[in-house]
């Protein structure tokens, strides 16, 4: 169909829809009462407190009944909280895992062979079963010689055994040290060394890593591994002094033993969470039981959990966001279905063609996400729509615009939802009604797009490992983008001047400054690192505060906007400040970018970009330029391809209203993929700027020279 016909078609639809809107306006108004919604959209979310230094805001909502319930039950450790939940929800479904029916090898078009799964239904454990298993696991650790208050490491992917192991450790006052499953060998050794553990809990998939690691960790004597559903775990080729147990064996040993529980006190260490800092070795953040239980209670604000809610659990449990989310779900008795990013949807890479992904089977109503995942969903939807031709693309764009306009004014658009967005909602199962996102800044485009096309509130939050993931969270009525919501009840959020960066609390129109978080959720400090602890944490007005290094601004309703990061700010030759993170967030939405890092040399007047492109889109672009040889290495070095991509980046930057000096002056395409084991990104896929700069220094020099 040619463009003219498409445009005429869309105009006709536009006209008819406008007419329909006018005629049905009174009916919809009566049914939907949009003025109520409008009030919620514009309500005050936090109020200013008197304070000596800085500007401080406190949550404006009354406490949630659930918070009062826990306070009344006198619960002051996370162990007590989870036990309380299990006793309360006894026979309800707690956690589900899909059965693996078969593993097959699928030959791809390009000749590569991928392993794919045929997965069955979810099989569920109820709360009583989880609690009993955790209790036995904890006692089982005692039978193999583990003492209360003696560290243990967990190094495994997200699965139900992870959570059960954590609960088991809590019951015996064993501090659980968490390491990301994607962490590089060196970082793992560092964690094992620093915590002086002799026992590691890991999984079938990760166990082989220890063949080489063990030589560098002579003190390890015990390894407990979570088994695979299909394969037995080979145990040969390791040092003979290691005592191996499967997860189930430990549970059995615990069942047959007569060790009793050793419940923690509130100031005992619950978790030492290793965060892969963007510079240097990972730091262990010490979280007490008191910290964690307060964070869980803090998150309960504004959660309206329903009877039929189901949670999709797939983010790394070694990340505080997921750990808190899953603990919360347990408190409310929400069933959690475990999943992985590789099996989430029907089109996920490990799902056999024609088989159902986890979302389709589970039909979750709630999930947490990191921006990286939402960016992928965004690009995926756009590609899928574009592949259906210009007609549907235009219709889709019209639907987006139509729904956005009505939503802003407090209306819902049921017919448009059904016609335009029904299929897209199906992608994540079709019942999703709440999505929380955190861990890194979410671009406004992605935020807006996901909210409209999936038809769910996308609640962006802000928090750090050091604040147990808590600081601010948007409520479900908040339709803004670029904000992270108001302070949660458990903590106050304060801004203080950062003179060097020119951010002051006296700034007009709104106060700006470094974000400092204070409350019961603020961690004890960094493990075995008193200097760094002293630098970032302090006690004041009877509570603990943490200086985040992030720069924020308070909106009038008490919500916070993250506008900068101390480390990310570079002053250019003529005195303009460039925020690298902001530029990246704006430009990264280009479908050709898998990952990017911008670099700014303060002796120059522009920035340059290093980009790792998406293979398929790179090929398409090169094909469009008439290139024959589509090998990645070749294309990355090709001048025309480079130019085309640079133009695209500049265009996107201009559309996002970046300043001239914030637009890249040159781009370097790298054929390398940035995964955590390259050392260029952290396990949470945050850029490690320094490592990237060192690795690509030559390319940077050439870009600035050209």
Handedness of CA 521, 526, 530, 536 (dihedral sign): negative
- If one asks whether residue 159 binds ligand NAG (CB under 6 A), the answer comes out as no
The least distance separating ligand NAG from the CB of residue 126, rounded to whole angstroms, comes to 4
Q: Terminal CA-to-CA distance of the chain, rounded, Å? A: 44
219/659 with CB nearer ligand NAG: 219
> Could you tell me the smallest distance in angstroms from the CB atom of residue 258 to ligand NAG?
4
**Cβ distance 483 to 555 under 8 Å?**
yes
579 close to 566: Cβ distance less than 8 angstroms: no
State the binding string over 346-365 for ligand NAG (x if CB under 6 A, else -): --------------------
Structure tokens given for 634:
């070749």
Instruction: Report the nearest approach of ligand NAG to the CB of residue 72 (Å).
Output: 27
Minimum gap (Å) between residue 528 Cβ and ligand NAG:
8
Q: Alpha helix (H) ranges present in 340-421?
A: 358-362, 371-386, 390-408, 414-416
Residues 103-132 interacting with ligand NAG (rule: CB under 6 A): 126, 128-129
For residue 126, what are the contacts with CB-CB under 8 A and spacing of at least 6? 89, 90, 91, 92, 93, 94
SS3 657: coil
- Nearest approach in angstroms of CB 190 to ligand NAG is 5
Instruction: Provide CB contacts within 8 A for 629, sequence distance 6+.
Output: 635
Residue among 195 and 327 whose Cβ is closer to ligand NAG: 195
Within its chain, how far is the Cα of 491 from the centroid? 21
Nearer residue to ligand NAG within complex by CB, 121 or 556:
121
How far is the C-alpha of 232 from the C-alpha of 601, rounded, in Å? Answer: 53
What secondary structure does DSSP assign to 235-286, as a single string?
-TTS-TT-EEEEHHHHHHHHHHS-PPP-PPPTTSEEEEEEE--SSSS-EEEE
Q: How far is the CB of 124 from ligand NAG (least distance, A)?
A: 8
Nearer to ligand NAG by C-beta: 50 or 531? 531
The answer to whether 147 contacts ligand NAG (rule: CB under 6 A) is: no
**Which residue number, 189 or 252, has a Cβ lying nearer to ligand NAG?**
189
* Residue 687 DSSP one-character state: B
Our CB check for ligand NAG shows the closer of 196 and 701 to be 196
Measure CA 468 to chain center.
14
Near ligand NAG by CB under 6 A, which window of 188-196, 558-566, 618-626, 635-643?
188-196
Instruction: Report, in Å, the least distance between residue 193 CB and ligand NAG.
Output: 4
Q: How far is the CB of 559 from ligand NAG (least distance, A)?
A: 42
CB 197 within 8 A of CB 176: no
Nearer to ligand NAG, 91 or 236 (CB): 91
Residue that the structure tokens 């690009």 belong to = 379
Q: If binding is defined by CB under 6 A, does position 529 make contact with ligand NAG?
A: no
Inter-helix orientation angle 78-89/160-171, to 10°:
120
Q: d(Cα 475, Cα 464) in Å, to the nearest integer?
A: 19
Question: Minimum distance from CB of 348 to ligand NAG (Å)?
Answer: 30
**Closest approach of Cβ 311 to ligand NAG, in Å?**
19
Q: Near ligand NAG by CB under 6 A, which window of 42-50, 189-197, 342-350, 627-635?
A: 189-197
* Residue 190 makes contact with ligand NAG by CB under 6 A: yes
Count of residues that bind ligand NAG according to CB under 6 A:
12
* Pairing mode, strands 269-275 and 283-288: antiparallel
Write the binding mask 199 to 238 for ligand NAG: x where contact by CB under 6 A, - elsewhere: -----------------x--x-------------------
Q: Give me the residues paired with residue 570 across strands.
A: 578
Of 153-161, 185-193, 327-335, 417-425: span binding ligand NAG (CB under 6 A):
185-193
State the binding string over 66-105 for ligand NAG (x if CB under 6 A, else -). -------------------------x--------------
Choices 50-58, 186-194, 200-208, 332-340; region in contact with ligand NAG by CB under 6 A: 186-194
Give the nearest distance from C-beta 259 to ligand NAG in angstroms: 7
* 196 sits near ligand NAG (criterion: CB under 6 A): yes
CB neighbour class for 678 (10 Å; exposed up to 12, middle 13-18, buried from 19) = middle
Neighbour tally for 670: CB within 10 Å: 22
Shortest distance in whole angstroms from residue 94 CB to ligand NAG? 9
Quote the least distance from Cβ 134 to ligand NAG, whole Å: 13
Minimum Å gap between C-beta 214 and ligand NAG is 12
Write out the two tokens for 265: 């006190």
Stretch that binds ligand NAG, among 187-195, 332-340, 377-385, 655-663 (CB under 6 A): 187-195
Closest CB to ligand NAG among 140 and 558? 140
Q: How far apart are CA 275 and CA 271, in angstroms?
A: 12
Of the two residues 176 and 479, which places its CB atom closer to ligand NAG in the complex? 176
> Interaction with ligand NAG in 550-579: which residues (CB under 6 A)?
none
The residue among 55 and 174 lying less far from ligand NAG, judged by its C-beta, is 174
Task: Work out how close the CB of 436 gets to ligand NAG at its nearest, in angstroms, rounded to a whole number.
Answer: 29
Nearer to ligand NAG, 218 or 389 (CB): 218
Q: What is the rounded CA–CA span in Å between residue 430 and residue 407?
A: 20
User: Tokens 């965060």 identify what position?
Assistant: 275
Q: What element of type H or E holds 551?
A: strand 543-554
CB 700 within 8 A of CB 693: yes
Among 241, 258, 387, 603, binds ligand NAG (CB under 6 A): 258
Smallest distance, ligand NAG to C-beta of residue 312, A = 22
Query: Cα–Cα distances in Å, from 247 out to 204, 244, 251?
Result: 10, 10, 6
Residue number with CB closer to ligand NAG (75 or 272): 272
Q: Are 455 and 488 in contact (CB under 8 A)?
A: no
Burial environment of residue 699 by CB neighbours within 10 A (0 to 12, 13 to 18, 19 or more): middle
579 contact partners, CB below 8 Å, separation of at least 6: 563, 564, 565, 568, 569
Query: Would you state the torsion angle of the CA atoms of residues 634, 635, 636, 639, taken in this order, to the nearest 10 degrees?
Result: 100
Contacts with ligand NAG, residue ranges (CB under 6 A): 91, 126, 128-129, 189-190, 193, 196, 216, 219, 257-258
């Amino acid at each position: 169909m040619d463009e003219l016909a498409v445009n005429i078609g869309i105009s006709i639809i536009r006209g008819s829809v406008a007419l329909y809107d006018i005629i049905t306006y009174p009916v919809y108004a009566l049914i939907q009462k949009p003025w109520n919604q409008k009030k919620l959209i514009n309500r005050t979310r936090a109020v200013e407190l008197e304070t000596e230094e800085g500007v401080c805001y406190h949550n404006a909502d009354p406490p949630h009944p659930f918070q009062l319930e826990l306070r009344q039950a006198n619960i002051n450790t996370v162990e007590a909280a989870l036990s309380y939940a299990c006793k309360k929800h006894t026979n309800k479904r707690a956690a589900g895992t899909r059965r693996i029916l078969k593993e097959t090898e699928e030959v791809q078009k390009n000749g590569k062979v991928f392993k794919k799964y045929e997965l069955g239904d979810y099989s569920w454990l109820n709360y009583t079963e989880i609690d009993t298993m955790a209790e036995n696991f904890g006692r089982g650790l005692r039978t193999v010689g583990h003492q209360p208050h003696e560290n243990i490491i967990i190094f495994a992917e997200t699965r139900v055994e992870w959570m059960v192991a954590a609960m088991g450790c809590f019951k015996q006052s064993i501090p659980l040290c968490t390491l990301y499953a994607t962490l590089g060998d060196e970082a793992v050794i560092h964690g094992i060394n620093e915590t002086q553990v002799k026992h590691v809990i890991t999984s079938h998939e990760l166990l082989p890593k220890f063949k080489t690691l063990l030589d560098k960790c002579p003190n390890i004597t015990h390894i407990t591994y979570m088994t695979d559903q299909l394969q037995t775990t080979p145990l040969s080729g390791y040092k003979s002094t290691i005592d191996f147990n499967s997860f189930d064996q430990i549970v059995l040993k615990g069942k047959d033993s007569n060790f009793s529980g050793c419940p923690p006190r509130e100031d005992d260490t619950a978790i030492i969470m290793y965060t892969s800092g963007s510079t240097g070795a990972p730091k262990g953040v010490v979280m007490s039981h008191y910290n964690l239980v307060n964070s869980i209670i803090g998150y309960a604000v504004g959660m309206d959990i329903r009877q039929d809610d189901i949670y999709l659990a797939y983010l790394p449990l070694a990340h505080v966001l997921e750990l808190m989310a899953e603990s919360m779900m347990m408190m409310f008795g929400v069933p959690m279905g475990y999943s992985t990013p590789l099996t989430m949807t029907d089109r996920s890479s490990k799902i056999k063609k024609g088989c159902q992904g986890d979302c389709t089977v589970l039909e979750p109503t709630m999930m947490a996400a990191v921006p990286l995942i939402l960016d992928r969903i965004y690009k995926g939807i756009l590609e899928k729509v574009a592949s259906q031709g210009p007609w549907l693309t235009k219709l889709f764009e019209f639907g987006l615009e139509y729904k956005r306009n009505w939503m802003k004014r407090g209306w819902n658009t049921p017919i448009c939802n059904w016609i335009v967005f029904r299929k897209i909602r199906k992608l994540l199962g079709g019942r999703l009604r709440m999505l929380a996102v955190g861990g890194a800044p979410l671009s406004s485009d992605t935020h807006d797009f996901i909210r409209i096309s999936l038809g769910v509130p996308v609640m962006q939050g802000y928090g750090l490992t050091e604040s147990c993931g808590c600081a601010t969270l948007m409520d479900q009525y908040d339709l803004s983008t670029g904000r992270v919501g108001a302070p949660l009840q458990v903590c106050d959020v304060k801004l203080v001047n950062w003179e060097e960066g020119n951010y002051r609390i006296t700034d007009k129109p709104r106060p700006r400054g470094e974000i400092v978080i204070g409350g019961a959720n603020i961690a004890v400090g960094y493990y075995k690192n008193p200097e760094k602890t002293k630098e970032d944490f302090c006690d004041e007005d009877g509570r603990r505060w943490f200086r985040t290094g992030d720069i924020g601004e308070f909106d009038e309703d008490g919500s916070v906007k993250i506008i900068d990061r101390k480390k990310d700010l570079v002053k250019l030759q003529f005195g303009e400040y460039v925020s690298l993170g902001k530029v990246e967030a704006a430009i990264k939405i280009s479908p050709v970018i898998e990952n990017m890092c911008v670099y700014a040399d303060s002796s120059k007047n522009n920035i340059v970009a290093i980009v790792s492109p998406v293979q398929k889109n790179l090929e398409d672009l090169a094909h469009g330029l008439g290139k024959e040889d589509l090998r990645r290495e070749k294309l990355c070095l090709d001048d025309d391809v480079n130019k085309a991509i640079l133009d695209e980046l500049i265009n996107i930057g201009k559309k996002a209203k970046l300043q001239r000096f914030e637009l890249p002056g040159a781009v370097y395409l790298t054929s390398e993929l940035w995964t955590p084991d390259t050392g260029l990104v952290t396990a949470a896929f945050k850029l490690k700027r320094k490592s990237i700069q060192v690795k690509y220094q030559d390319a940077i020099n050439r870009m600035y020279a050209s």
